[in-house]
């Protein structure tokens, strides 16, 4: 077994492994230009010096994230009612049958801010039933530009035990909805993008009102402790923000309850990955897809969702249609 760490100098530790190799650990304090003040300022981007993200990345604490909340900065300040006027509207899907199938409607403004304004959860229903319900819950005058879905739905599955021609789940959704879907970006970088969106809301509140949400321990300690300058607050506030409509109570609850997995084994021998507990994470996955994917603002006045029945009616009435007959009074 490896011996305990031995302090060499400021920021440097070493130990001898049973293989005969010497393991040297270099901390940022080994650099004379990086002191505690430098660390305090930099840690603001990670959630503070006590946050699991900072302790793992800069304090070489591989077990820091175990059991910790993924989004400790989430508070009721992220819940607000917003008008959808002038926003581009999208849908984000996460497939499920035993696990719930989740759909979130998201509005994107000119700054790229995401506002989740409607949610749909259902377990034990077929793809067709879920898709019919999604279309029913989307008003006719609500112009949804695109619908994004988890790219894992490209996987082909048999429809029955005797089915020798499996089809992709993506094609089932496309056929049931009547139009094509876009593949979402499900990369792990989306967790950081969501974190930046939540911090952006807090930074904007601190700049506008000079205070933060008093009911949020994280926000209160975060902004009071670091005393960020206007330029540092602006750097946080310029990121696309993330907010929720009050009706999105279930996904908000799941976001608050999301935790990192416990880490087993010798964490000093090898850095364990930051794995999320796979429990009630379907809604947060949709939030991550919506933040990480390329959902851009565009003018949608008069635009009708391609593939919808209104789109087909409009196409039949188009003067370019040879069957179109212009009626005059």
Cβ–Cβ < 8 Å for 104, 286: yes
Q: Give the full edge-to-edge strand order of the sheet including 6-9.
A: 6-9, 12-16, 22-26
pLDDT of 176 strictly over 80:
yes
CATH number of 71-258+279-318: 3.30.420.280
Give the total residue count for the chain: 329
**Where does the pLDDT of residue 311 fall: very low under 50, low under 70, confident under 90, or very high at 90 and above?**
low
**Where does the pLDDT of residue 1 fall: very low under 50, low under 70, confident under 90, or very high at 90 and above?**
very low
Parallel, antiparallel or unpaired: strands 88-94 and 144-149: parallel
User: In the prediction, which pLDDT does 322 show?
Assistant: 46
Domain positions in the chain: 1-34, 71-258+279-318
Least confident of 214-218, 246-250, 257-261, 270-274: 270-274
pLDDT of 139 strictly over 70:
yes
**Where does the pLDDT of residue 324 fall: very low under 50, low under 70, confident under 90, or very high at 90 and above?**
very low
Cβ–Cβ < 8 Å for 58, 39: yes
Q: Which helix (H) or strand (E) holds 167?
A: strand 167-168
Mean pLDDT of 307-315: 61
pLDDT of 38 strictly over 60:
yes
- If one compares 103 and 270, the residue with the highest pLDDT of the two is 103
Mean pLDDT of 132-155: 90
User: In the prediction, which pLDDT does 323 show?
Assistant: 45
pLDDT of 67 strictly over 60:
yes
How many alpha carbons lie under 13 Å from residue 240 in its C-beta half-sphere? 22
**Where does the pLDDT of residue 75 fall: very low under 50, low under 70, confident under 90, or very high at 90 and above?**
confident
**Where does the pLDDT of residue 277 fall: very low under 50, low under 70, confident under 90, or very high at 90 and above?**
confident
Mean pLDDT of 70-75: 85
Label residues 219-246 b or e (16+ Cβ within 10 Å = b): beebbeebebeeeebeebbebbbbbbbe
Q: What is the mean pLDDT of the chain?
A: 80
Considering the chain, what percentage of its residues have pLDDT values greater than 70? 73
Distance from C-alpha of 140 to C-alpha of 135, rounded to nearest angstrom: 9
pLDDT of 29 strictly over 60:
yes
- Secondary structure of residue 183 in the 3-state scheme: strand
pLDDT in tens, 87-99: 999 999 999 888 8
Helices of type H across the chain: 36-42, 52-57, 127-137, 169-177, 189-209, 217-226, 230-237, 249-257, 282-292, 309-316
For residue 21, what are the contacts with CB-CB under 8 A and spacing of at least 6?
Answer: none
Considering the chain, what percentage of its residues have pLDDT values greater than 90? 35
Residue 101 main-chain phi, psi, to 5 deg: -80, 130
pTM of this structure? 0.72
pLDDT of 218 strictly over 90:
no
Tokens of 232: 């540092």
Highest mean pLDDT among 1-10, 218-227, 273-282: 273-282
């Amino acid at each position: 077994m490896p011996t305990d760490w031995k302090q060499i100098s400021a920021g440097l530790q070493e130990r001898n492994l049973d293989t005969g190799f010497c393991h040297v650990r270099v901390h940022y304090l080994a650099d004379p230009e990086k002191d505690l003040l430098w660390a305090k300022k930099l840690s603001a981007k990670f959630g503070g010096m006590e946050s699991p993200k900072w302790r793992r990345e800069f304090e070489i604490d591989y077990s820091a994230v175990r059991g910790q909340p993924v989004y400790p900065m989430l508070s009721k300040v992220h819940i607000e009612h917003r008008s959808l006027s002038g926003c581009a509207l999208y849908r984000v899907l996460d497939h499920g049958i035993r696990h719930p199938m989740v759909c979130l409607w998201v509005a994107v403004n000119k700054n790229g801010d995401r506002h989740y304004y409607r949610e749909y959860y259902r377990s034990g229903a077929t793809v067709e039933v879920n898709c019919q319900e999604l279309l029913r819950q989307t008003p006719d005058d609500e112009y949804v530009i695109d619908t994004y879905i988890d790219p894992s739905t490209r996987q082909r599955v048999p429809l029955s035990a005797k089915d020798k021609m499996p089809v992709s789940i993506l094609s089932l959704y496309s056929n049931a909805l009547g139009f094509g879907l876009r593949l979402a970006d499900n990369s792990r970088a989306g967790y950081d993008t969501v974190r930046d969106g939540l911090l952006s809301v807090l930074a904007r509140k601190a700049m506008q009102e000079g205070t933060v949400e008093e009911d949020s321990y994280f926000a209160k300690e975060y902004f009071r402790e670091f005393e960020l300058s206007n330029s540092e607050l602006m750097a946080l506030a310029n990121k696309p923000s993330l907010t929720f409509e009050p009706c999105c109570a279930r996904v908000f609850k799941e976001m608050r309850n999301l935790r990192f997995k416990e880490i087993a084994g010798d964490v000093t021998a090898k850095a364990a990955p930051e794995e999320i507990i796979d429990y009630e994470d379907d809604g947060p996955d949709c939030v991550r897809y919506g933040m990480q994917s390329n959902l851009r603002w565009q003018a949608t006045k008069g635009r009708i969702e391609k593939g919808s029945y209104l789109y087909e009616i409009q196409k039949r009435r188009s003067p370019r249609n040879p069957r179109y007959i212009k009626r005059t009074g």
